[in-house]
């Protein structure tokens, strides 16, 4: 009899516990984890836009590698189903390479750059706010701040200087899910697509005085994050 009552009580608790795991209006959610930026880096050909060779098309394209950093999300639940979220991270660093250009000295690692991708989104949670599993979708605006552009030693030895890349505004989209472990702690996974476009320029006075080349890069990365969250 006692065992039956205990089993029934545990079963009732198991059913009731998820009801406490809710995203409610007024909640503040902080998530942290590993975040990877995987650039598509679809670029134009490299063109000379300044100097005596202006208008020359060097062909080729630019590429960028992936990088993983610490990702942070800060969310505020405006209602039980709608929230506002800010994405932040420690600075990402990418190698920038040129390949298949007609100027052999330009091919190879051009340099590195860093960026920060703050993104503000509106997020929708379609399930009942008391569900232990909370999938969501979101859309918003991204500002990518690109800084600390550094030429590789090889590029410097080939006469390149003054490597720069423009900052970017663009739309951002995401899907994700929280799974509540306790009333306050959750597992989180998310995938984002961000529209990031930049124009990179670099000078080379060794080719001809005043020569500058540029390349337009559609970075357009997919961004993956897995981590833990805490609800206040």
DSSP string, 17-86: HHHH----TT-EEEEEEEEEEE---EE--EEEEESTTTT-EEEEEEEE--EEEEEEEEEEESSSSEEEEE
Q: How many domains does the chain have?
A: 1
Name beta bridge partners: 160: 204
The DSSP secondary-structure symbol of 208 reads: S
Q: What is the pLDDT of residue 15?
A: 46
Domain of residue 106, CATH code: 2.40.160.20
Q: How far apart, in Å, are the Cα atoms of 104 and each of 58, 98, 107, 156, 168?
A: 10, 10, 5, 14, 29
Instruction: Let me know: does 229 contact 21? Beta carbons within 8 Å.
Output: no
- Which range marks the domain in which residue 76 is found? 2-231
Q: What is the pLDDT of residue 178?
A: 97
Instruction: Let me know: does 142 contact 172? Beta carbons within 8 Å.
Output: yes
Q: Which of 71, 124, 118, 115 is nearest to 96 (CA)?
A: 115
Instruction: Let me know: does 151 contact 112? Beta carbons within 8 Å.
Output: no
The values of phi and psi at residue 202, to 5°, are -150, 145
pLDDT in tens, the chain (232 residues): 444 544 444 444 444 444 556 789 999 999 999 999 999 888 889 999 999 889 899 999 999 999 999 999 999 999 999 999 999 999 999 999 999 998 888 899 999 999 999 999 999 999 998 899 999 999 999 999 999 999 999 999 999 999 999 999 999 999 999 999 999 999 999 999 999 999 999 999 888 888 999 999 999 999 999 999 999 9
User: In this structure, how many other beta carbons lie within 10 angstroms of the beta carbon of residue 48?
Assistant: 20
Q: What is the pLDDT of residue 36?
A: 98
């Amino acid at each position: 009899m006692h065992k039956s009552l205990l089993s029934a009580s545990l079963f009732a608790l198991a059913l009731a516990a998820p009801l406490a795991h809710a995203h409610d209006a007024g909640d503040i959610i902080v998530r942290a984890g590993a975040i990877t930026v995987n650039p598509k880096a679809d670029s134009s050909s490299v063109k000379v836009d300044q100097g005596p060779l202006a208008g020359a098309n060097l062909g080729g394209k630019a590429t960028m590698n992936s990088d993983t950093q610490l990702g942070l999300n800060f969310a505020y639940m405006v209602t039980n189903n709608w929230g506002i979220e800010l994405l932040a991270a420690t600075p990402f660093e990418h190698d920038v390479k040129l390949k298949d250009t007609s100027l052999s000295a330009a091919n190879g690692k051009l340099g590195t750059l860093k960026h920060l991708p703050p993104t503000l989104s509106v997020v929708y949670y379609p399930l009942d706010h008391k569900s232990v599993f909370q999938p969501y979708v979101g859309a918003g605006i991204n500002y990518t701040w690109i800084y600390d552009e550094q030429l590789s030693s090889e590029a410097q030895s080939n006469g390149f200087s003054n490597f720069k890349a423009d900052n970017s505004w663009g739309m951002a989209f995401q899907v994700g899910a929280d799974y509540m472990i306790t009333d306050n702690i959750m597992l989180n996974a998310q995938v984002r697509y961000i529209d990031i476009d930049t124009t990179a320029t670099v000078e080379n006075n060794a080719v001809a005085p005043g020569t500058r080349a540029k390349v337009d890069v559609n970075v357009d990365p997919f961004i993956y994050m897995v981590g833990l969250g805490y609800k206040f």
